Chain A
Amino acid sequence: MLQLKNVSKIYEGKVAYRALTDINLEIETGEFVAIMGPSGSGKTTLLNIISTIDEPTTGEVYIDGKNPHTLSKNKLAKFRRQELGFVFQDFNLLHTLTVEENIVLPLTLDGEKVKEMERKVKQIAEKLGISAILNKRTYEISGGQAQRTAIARAMIHDPKLLLADEPTGNLDSKASKDVMNMLAAINEREKTSLLMVTHDPQAASYADRVVFIRDGKLHSEIYRGESRQTFFQKIIDMLSLMGGDGNDLSSIRV
């Protein structure tokens, strides 16, 4: 499904900064992978490269066997909104639009039929439990509802790959749990491949596999067994093993 080959990223600037070094990673269709690591370890950079928002300095990215980075700017934009789904920490919703309008935005840009859009919104809103707030403005809803709206928007066009950057970063624990349950359910039911960056061991424990990176390099990975509780414990252990400021649950993300 997703393949990274020797991906490196160097930020050019007054001082060139090597954010990622030789990342090799493969994700199967329908797999749910979480990426963890200390703040500044390159998680967002990695996700941005996969999501084609940013380009790798060297190395290749294949999504379903195709390298999207070879596409033209315009084709890339269309690729992104047709093949990928995005969920962000700050929700990334437009506050001039209602919840429903935010959800259908990717479809309107592609010129989908109104009837079809309405059908899809209804369906997905029911699944995510946001049918009652469809006509509200984004500032009238809670963080959990906002993130579910963002998930609905990411899922409305049945993407092959759903990418999430700290989806629970701005939520309280109750809302985080709801959102993670939804993501896991979507992954289960729709067989959508899911790649999530997170600080939160609780959130990571919903994944099939957790990949740890540190200083821009792959550090290790652990697979989920039968029980989520033991998986959670293993993740905590790994984070403390990575040591130092490895567990930056409390650090402010910049």
Chain B
Amino acid sequence: MTFRQFVFNNVLRNKRLYVAYFLSSLFTVMVFFTFAMFAFHPALSGADIHFSALYGMSVAGGIIYVFSFFFVLYSMSSFLQSRKREFGLLMTLGASSRQIRRMVFLENMIIGFFATVGGILLGLIFAKLILLIAENVLIISETLYFYVPVLAIIITFVSFIVLFLCISFFVSVVLRTKKLTDLIKGNKKWKGEPKASFALGIIAALLLLAGYGVALYVKGMEVLFAMVPVIIVVVIGTYLLFTQLSVYVIRRLKGNRHLFFRKTNMLLFSDLAFRMKDNARTFFLVTIISTVAFSAIGTLYGFHSYLTRGIKDLNPFSYTYFSFIDDSDERIEKDVQRINAILQEENIKADMERIEMTYYHMEASDTPVLIVKASDYNRFARLNDEKEVSPDKNEAVVVNVSARMMGSSSGNSSLIDQPILLQNGVEIKPSETIESELLPEIKGYYIVHDDAFAELGDPLNSSSFFAFKVVEGEKESVMDAGRKMMEQTEYRAQAIDYMVYEIDKAYGPVLFIGLFIGIVFFVSAGSFLYFRLYSDLDDDKYKFQSITKIGLTVGELKKVVNRQTAILFFAPIIVALIHGAVALTALSRFFDYNITEEALFVLGGFAVIQIVYFFIAKLFYVKQIKETVYR
């Protein structure tokens, strides 16, 4: 048997040990390949994709590659960790250190090669699957079709063969510097609790508080300037949080005997402390990756909603027609006739209201202010099933668009302080403010009693506004009618459904890629956790086997495993969720648009996924341990 045959057989025989390492490598390749496949998609390489989107994608690709490197390296080192004793044994049996290094190198290349090829194949299937889902969710079916990505295959293959070569070299160099005795002692050796300083713990807390404080304080353009320093401060703070503060807290918990010596706490905390070095590293990586995922998806989703829901909120009606100031009456009549003709053509039944929007000069305002009479407003309110208003003869109601649309700088707040002077000398006092988007005036306006309206005199200017509410009609034809009337009235008419459709179509691919990257990052974080969990499996099996011999109930075992897994799964995610919430709040301050709902949806969604993931992982983990312990 040649040495090479020995290596090959070794891999085949120690399957279980290699499977975890192989799978995580395979997964990494798959993620990278799927990404490359979309990044090099013909539809995206055209001229119509934004330069910034391309730039963003290359950055994301680079980040994925760097993370792949660290992930594979990390998997590799845990894998070697669990095999140190095997190496030690081989060496005492006379294998030279050079032979072992050669064995590790060859093994790693075998695994790397199959992981690369397998990852590409799996990636092709995965991409097809994603596209199937995407087609049903986003409007990109025509643009992002499935293709055979020769370029992506070549790039992935070369990148990862190089990556595995580097790691193989790196590992064999590292192995050279390790002493034989270290290898023989293997994993029994106490890794040592990481040192924690109280001062650094405090600094961690201060950095995080400062970062959050600034992120929550800045507004508008300041957000852009504050972003990079805040990110740096928070990343350092997070690192210290896990390597210092958490270690310090666990120390203190262990120091408190009334807590530490209580039931299963001793098992839980001593293990936490023991694994803190590995955990801290994983927690930090997972937190950062998850934060990136949450923020990226939250941003895209928030931005999408800013674009579409903003329009929807401002346009409660299916179709509107808003004349330009100097349009002639004939033109308006003709346009409206055309709209009605289109509606008839498409078999759409719609209710219509019209209003002459009249603008008046006001003392305190440099632009003319819209004043409408109550009966006009109420007709529109009835059309959209909204509350009617009935101001008294000498009262006015101020209307602003809802605060959500305007963020903090809501409407024209000064209107409420301005009395309206009628021609007959009567002063009308604004009495209340309401929010409404019925009329297309975002600067705010007054509603007055019909009698008062008659005394206003001549307006400075006016335009006609028509609103149509569809009562009956097919979704398709409503959209088609919208497109036609927008074109034929030279965009005086607006069709909300068609406009949203156009936005979705334009942003679909970018949104999709962004979503995909976010999900990839999140899934990678999950696999980091999975890997961390399973690299402790043998230790845990030994531990629980030991205690069970002395007497440990199934309930106690489950309790310890549940808690230690819960800490592993939720500590980094909770920190990431807080980071993400702060980042999205800062984002909404930047756009001056409230995305609380979207942020809650995204963060909540991830939290739910994580909880499900936790339960599945825990179930299998407990099962594995129970199988060993209670044979």
Instruction: Please report the C-alpha to C-alpha distance between residue A95 and residue B546 in the assembled complex, in whole angstroms.
Output: 11
Contact status A109-B190, CB under 8 Å: no
Q: A11 vs B80: C-alpha distance in the bound complex, in angstroms?
A: 35
Evaluate contact between B548 and A77: CB separation under 8 angstroms. yes
Given known A-B contacts A97-B270, A139-B189, A79 and B551 have beta carbons under 8 A apart: yes
Q: State whether B273 touches A114 (Cβ < 8 A).
A: no
Query: Chain B's nearest CB lies how many Å from the CB of A53?
Result: 6
The 6 closest A-B pairs by CB, nearest first: A81-B551, A80-B551, A96-B274, A77-B553, A74-B553, A96-B270
Interface residue A88 (Cβ < 8 Å from any Cβ of B): yes
Cα A139 to Cα B188 with chains together (Å): 8
Of residues 256 through 271 on chain B, the ones whose CB sits less than 8 Å from some CB of chain A are 257-258, 261-267, 270-271
Least CB distance, B477 to chain A, in whole angstroms = 68
Chain A CB within 8 A of B554 CB: yes
Q: Inside 8 A of A108's CB, which chain B residues have their CB? A: 261-266
Contact A137 B190 (CB under 8 A): yes
Task: From the candidates A79, A86, A88, A101, name the one contacting B266 in the complex (CB within 8 A).
Answer: A101
Q: Give A76's nearest chain B residue, CB to CB.
A: B551
A13 within 8 A of B: no
A78 at the interface (CB under 8 A from B): yes
- Complex CA–CA separation, A97 to B269 (angstroms): 10
- Contact indicator per residue, chain B 254-296, by CB within 8 Å of chain A (1) or not (0): 0001100111111100110110000000000000000000000
- With a cutoff of 8 Å between Cβ atoms, the chain B residues found around residue A74 in the complex are 553-555
- Establish whether residues A94 and B550, one from each chain, have CB atoms under 8 Å apart when the complex forms: no
A114-B553 CB under 8 A given contacts A105-B547, A108-B266? no
- Residues of chain A with a CB closer than 8 A to B257's CB: 114, 118
25 residue pairs A–B, Cβ–Cβ below 8 Å = A51-B549, A73-B554, A74-B553, A74-B554, A77-B548, A81-B551, A81-B552, A84-B551, A86-B549, A86-B550, A92-B546, A94-B270, A94-B547, A95-B188, A96-B271, A96-B543, A101-B266, A104-B261, A108-B262, A108-B264, A109-B551, A109-B552, A111-B262, A114-B261, A153-B550
B556 close to A (CB within 8 Å): yes
Task: Please name all residues of chain B whose beta carbon is closer than 8 Å to the beta carbon of A106 when the two chains form the complex.
Answer: 550-551
Fill in one digit per residue for A102-121: 1 if any B CB lies within 8 Å of its CB, else 0: 00111011010010011000
User: Which residue in chain A gives the minimum CB-CB distance to B259?
Assistant: A114
Chain A residues contacting B274 (CB-CB under 8 Å) are 96
CB contacts (< 8 Å) of A114 on chain B: these are 257-258, 261
Taking a contact as CB atoms under 8 Å apart, the answer to whether A105 and B543 are in contact is: no
CB–CB A101/B551 < 8 A = no
Residues of B within 8 A of A (CB): 188-190, 257-258, 261-267, 270-271, 273-274, 543, 546-556, 630
Number of A-B contacts (CB under 8 A): 79
A139 with B552, Cβ < 8 A, contacts A92-B546, A104-B261 known: no
For residue B161, give the distance in angstroms from its CB to the closest CB of chain A.
40
CA distance A79 to B552 in the complex (A): 10
Among candidates B261, B263, B546, residue contacting A94 with C-beta atoms closer than 8 Å: B546
Q: Is A21 an interface residue (CB 8 A)?
A: no
From 51 to 89 in chain A, residues with beta carbon under 8 angstroms from any chain B beta carbon are 51, 53, 73-74, 76-82, 84, 86, 88
Q: In the complex, how many angstroms separate the beta carbon of B535 from the nearest chain A beta carbon?
A: 15
The answer on a CB contact under 8 Å between A117 and B548 is no
Question: Given contacts A81-B551, A94-B543, A94-B546, could you give 8 more A-B pairs where the C-beta distance is less than 8 Å?
Answer: A51-B549, A78-B551, A81-B550, A92-B550, A95-B190, A105-B267, A105-B547, A137-B190
CB A73 to nearest CB in B, in angstroms, measures 6
A117 touches B261 (CB 8 A): yes
Residue contact A77 to B270, C-beta cutoff 8 Å: no
Residue of A nearest to B552 (CB): A77
Alpha-carbon distance between A77 and B548 when the two chains are bound, in angstroms: 7
CA distance A137 to B273 in the complex (A): 13
Measured between beta carbons, the chain B residues less than 8 angstroms from A88 are 549
Q: Chain A residues near B543 (CB, 8 Å)?
A: 94, 96
1/0 per residue A136-171: CB within 8 Å of B?
010100000000000001000000000000000000
Chain B residues in 8 Å Cβ range of A51: 549
